[in-house]
Structure 1
Amino acid sequence: MTSIMKKEIFEEPGVVKNLIQNYVTPNDKINIDLPQKVDNIVIVASGSSYNCAAIAAPLFIEYANIPCECEYSSEFILQKKHFITPDSLYIFVSQSGETSDTLNALKMIKQEGVKTMCITNAKDSAMWKLCDYKILSDAGEEKSIASTKALTAQILCSMLVLLKLKHKNNSDISGYLNTLRRLPAYLERIKSDEEKIEETAKTVATYNNISILGNKNYYPIAKEGALKIKETCYLNVMAYPFGEFMHGHVAVLNQKSIVIAIIDEENAQFAVRNLKKIKEEYNPQIVCITSVQEVQAGDINIYIKTKRKMKAIFGSLMTLQLIACKMAAILDKNPDSPKGLKKVVKD
C-alpha cells in the first residue's frame, strides 16, 4: 500500500508548476507584494519550516545582497532584544499558519511596529491575518505528519521573494526564473530514480548510526533529511556541515556506521577529500547524493544531474525525503502518523 507521504512527495512537481504559474508571469514579473524598501531580513520558524528558513537565508545574501538571518521561533521568543531598522522585514514560515511558538514570535515582534510577512499553506490562518505581507504556498492539503510537499513549496516561495528583491535592484532575473520553470521536469527525473533510491534506503535502514553531511545551503537539507528519518523511522540521525564534522564528531563513526553526503560543484573537492579521510580512518558505508557526475566517492552514488544550485537544492531534498519514506516501509513503520507527533504544534 502506498503511503500518503510518498503520494505527497510525488505531488511536488505539480505543486512547483502551479506556484510558478500563479506567481510568475510570462514576461518574468513576480506577483508578490513586498515593502518598497528592505535592508535586512529575519526569518523565524520551527521544525521543517526552520530548515526552509536556513536554506533561504544565505540565498538572500548571495542573490539579493540583503543581510538575512534565521531563528528558531522558540529561541526568538526568549530574546529580550531584536535587531530592527525602519526597513527590516521579518518573515514567519509555517505550514499551518497556527504553529504556537512561531505565532507567539509574530505577535511579539508586531508590538515593535516591524514589517511582517508570512509564508503559509493556510489562507485565513492566524498568521495570515496578522501579517502585513503574505504568500500562500498553495501546496494543497498535506495529510502526512512529516512535511514534504509543503516544505518544497515554502522554499520555492522564499526563492521568489529573494528574486523579486534582486529585481528591485535592476538585476536581470530571467535566467533564474527559467531555471525554476524547468524545476517540475527535473523533479520528475528524480522520481524516476525511485528504484535506486529504494535500494539505497534498504542499505541505510540496516544502520543505527547515521550521519548526514552537507555544506552551506545543503547543511539545512542534511538537517531536514535527518529530521525526516527521525520522524518516520524513530532513529537518532545527526546532521553536520562537512568541515565541522571533522572536529570531533567524526569519532562516532566505525564499520557499523553510515554517512550520507550531499555534494555539489561548489563543495565537491572539499567533500571528496574529507570523505576519503573518513573512509580510510573509520571505514563507514558512504552514500553520496551528488549533482557532479564525476564524483564517485561513495559505496553508493545517487546522481541528481544539474549544474544549477536552485535545482540541486530541491533534487537533494526530494531524494532524502524518498529515502526516509522508503526506510519507514522497510522498517514496518507508518510514515504518515509517527508516534507522539501532531501536524500542528500548539501550546
Structure 2
Amino acid sequence: MNWGELERIDSTGMKEAILLQGESVKVSIKESHKAILEVAGSVRFKNVLMTGAGDKYLIPMISEYLWEYFSDIPIKTVHSRTLTDSPPKWIGKNTLAILLSQSGTTKDTLDAMDLCLSRGSTCVAITNRWERPEDRSLLDLEEEGGYVIRTRTKPYPEKSLPSTGTFHATLALLNLLLLEILAFSQRNSEIDYALKLQTEAIPDLIDKLSKSSRVIEWGKLAAKWGLNYVDKMFYVMGDGARYPVARKHALIMLMEGVKSDACDSRMEEFVHSLVETLEEENKEKKPLIILKPPSQTKSLETFQLVKRVWEKQAGKEKILEVAPQEIDKEILIPQGNIENLLSPPLYAIPLEWQAFYLALLRGIDPGVSRLVGKIRSADTLTKI
C-alpha cells in the first residue's frame, strides 16, 4: 500500500493537524492560561451552562464528568440550536454560560450567545479565532461584558472540517477553566493534582500518541479493517466520559470525514437496546468499534460482556477494540479516578488516524465537505 501517494489527496493538511495537535494543546495552555485565571477569579454564578455545535457540543459533555466529580453546583450541556429554540427557564443572571466555537462565527452558537446575554448571564467563549471578523462573532463578548479565551492550533487556522487540533485544544482549555474556577473556591490536593495532569501530563501524552509510529500504524490497520464494512454501517461505543469520544468518531470523523454511515452507542445501554441487533432475525450483523475502559474502572466488566457477546453473535472479525494504553505500551498512561476523567482525548487519537486513512482508502479528501460548511443556516441550506 503506497500511503504516501494516497496522502496527496489530503488538501487541507489534516495529517499535519493530527501530528501537531499535542503542540496545539501546549501552546494554547501557555498563551491562554493567564486569561483563564482572570476569568476564574472574576466569575460568580450558581449554575453552569455549556453549549456549542458539532464536536464543540460533544467536548463539554466530556468536561461535565470532571466538574461533577469535584462540585455540587449544577452543570448542563445543551446544543446551541436547542438552547436557542427551547431555552430553559433557569438560565439567567446566576448562570455562567460557556460557549464553544472553532470559527467563532457558528450561527447556532451566536444565537445562543445572544440569548444568554439577554438573560443577564455571564458569558465566556472559547474559540480558535484570533482576528475579529467584520460580522458578529464570539469575540464581540470582549466589548459586551463577557470573556474570550483563545485556542492556538498548529497550523492556524485549522482547515479540515473534522477538526482535530481544535478539538484537543478546546477540551484542554475548557477542563483547565473548570479546574481553575474550582481551585478559587475549594482548593485541595486532588484539584491541584488534576491541574498538574491537565497542564503537563495530558498535553505530553497527546503529543506522544499523535506522533507515535505504533498508533499511526494501528490507524492504517484499523482503516483496512474498516474498508470491509464502510458501505454498511459502524456502531461506535464508549462508556461514561469516553462516550462523547465514541459519538465524535461516529458523527464527525466517520460521517463528515469518511462519508460513511455510523451510529454512536452508550456502553451502559448495550443490554437494553443494541444487543437485540445480534438476534438471528438480523441477518447482517454490523461492525462494532468499542473504546476499552482503563483496567481500574467499574465499566471494564461491561466492556468484557459486550466483547464476549459480540464476538459470539457477530464474529471476532466484526469488533475493533480501541485502547491507547495498549496500542503503544512504551507510552505510559497514568491510572486513577482523576486520570480516567482526563484521559478521553487520548482515545480520540487512534480513531483520528483510522478515519484519516479510511477516507484516503476510499479516495476521499478527509478534511473537505462538499455540501454543508461549519456555518449552517436556513439560507445557506436552500442554496445546496
The answer, yes or no, to whether TM exceeds 0.5 is: yes
1:182 aligns with 2:201: yes
Inter-partner Cα distance in structure 2 for 1:56 and 1:311: 8
Give the paired residue count.
337
- The residue that corresponds to 2:220 in the other structure is 198
Per-residue deviation, residues 128-179 of structure 1 (Å, max 9, x unmatched): 2136122112223011122111111110111111110221112233322332
Q: How does 1:165-176 map to 2 (within 5 A)?
A: 165-168=181-184, 169-172=186-189, 173-176=191-194
Moved more, 192-201 or 34-43: 34-43
Q: How does 1:12-161 map to 2 (within 5 A)?
A: 12-24=21-33, 31-34=37-40, 35-84=42-91, 86-123=93-130, 124=132, 126-130=137-141, 132-139=146-153, 140-161=156-177
Match of 2:256 among 213, 231, 242: 231
Inter-partner Cα distance in structure 2 for 1:259 and 1:113: 45
Q: How does 1:283-302 map to 2 (within 5 A)?
A: 283=315, 285-290=318-323, 293=326
3-state secondary structure, aligned to 1:31: helix
Inter-partner Cα distance in structure 2 for 1:32 and 1:331: 47
**2:161 and 2:257 in contact (8 A); partners too:** no
Which runs of 5 or more structure 2 residues have no equivalent in the other structure?
1-6, 379-384
- The residue that corresponds to 1:296 in the other structure is none
- The residue that corresponds to 2:3 in the other structure is none
Give the structure-1-normalised TM-score: 0.89
* Residue 61 of structure 1, CA deviation: 1.2
3-state secondary structure, aligned to 1:257: coil
Higher relative helix content: 2
- The amino acid of 2:187's aligned partner reads N
- The residue that corresponds to 1:268 in the other structure is 300
**1:16 and 1:183 in contact (8 A); partners too:** no
Inter-partner Cα distance in structure 2 for 1:311 and 1:241: 19
**1:99 and 1:346 in contact (8 A); partners too:** no
Per-residue deviation, residues 190-245 of structure 1 (Å, max 9, x unmatched): 23121122111110121122111011111111010012111122111000111213
Per-residue deviation, residues 37-76 of structure 1 (Å, max 9, x unmatched): 3321111111111011211122221134432111111111
Higher RCO by CA contacts (8 Å cutoff, separation 6 or greater):
2
Which runs of 5 or more structure 1 residues have no equivalent in the other structure?
294-300
Inter-partner Cα distance in structure 1 for 2:192 and 2:116: 35
